[in-house]
Amino acid sequence: MKKVILPPKITKFKKQHKGVLTPIDWKKTSSKVNIGVYGIQVLKSLRMNLKQLETTRRQISKHLSKMETFWFRVIPDIPVSKKPNEIRMGKGKGALGFWAFRVKAGQTFLEFSFVSPKKAKIVYLAIAKKLPVPCVLLRNTRKI
């Protein structure tokens, strides 16, 4: 059975404020590939939900074998509440709808290694179709 990405079990508060995605300097974000050889960098700031992250994981596991590994550098840690359709205003905030996480422009949110350059391009194109923002394939150029 494949490992499914899960939200945190314990949070300080059940519901959070929405928050604002502020523009950030590219140097401050985690814009380099640290763990793996290849990485996928997001070019726009957005809030992605757990369902989008799970479809990304499924696309990767389709194309990669057991020896080829990947790492997500984000955690879905923001609970988003949602009221049902056609409900009158008021009477509280609403139940938990889904889990989300913020990705800032220039952040590398996924890394993978032990992959040939040709296969990395195939995985990147499969993931780029599913993501709601433009993204770029990065390569780690550090020499060991």
Per-residue pLDDT, 3: 62
- State the pTM of this model: 0.80
On whether residue 117 sits in a domain, the answer given is yes
Q: Say which range, 27-36, 39-48, 56-65, 112-121, has the weakest mean pLDDT.
A: 27-36
On whether residue 134 sits in a domain, the answer given is yes
Count: domains in the chain = 1
The residue-averaged pLDDT of 118-127 equals 93
Q: Quickly list H helices, the chain.
A: 50-63, 117-130
On whether residue 10 sits in a domain, the answer given is no
| Residue 103 vs residues 19, 58, 62, 99: alpha-carbon distances, Å | 13, 19, 24, 14
Mean pLDDT of the chain: 85
Amino acid at position 20, single letter = V
On whether residue 31 sits in a domain, the answer given is no
Yes or no: say if 131 and 53 are a contact pair by the CB < 8 Å rule: no
On whether residue 128 sits in a domain, the answer given is yes
On whether residue 119 sits in a domain, the answer given is yes
Q: Does residue 29 have a pLDDT over 60? A: no
What residues make up the domain containing 71?
38-81+103-139
Q: Does residue 106 have a pLDDT over 80? A: yes
Choose between 118 and 31: higher pLDDT: 118
Residue 112 backbone dihedrals phi, psi, to 5 degrees: -145, 160
On whether residue 112 sits in a domain, the answer given is yes
On whether residue 25 sits in a domain, the answer given is no
Choose between 40 and 144: higher pLDDT: 40
Per-residue pLDDT, 143: 52
Per-residue pLDDT, 144: 54
What confidence tier does 123 reach under pLDDT thresholds 50, 70, 90? very high
CATH number of the domain residue 132 falls in: 3.90.1170.10
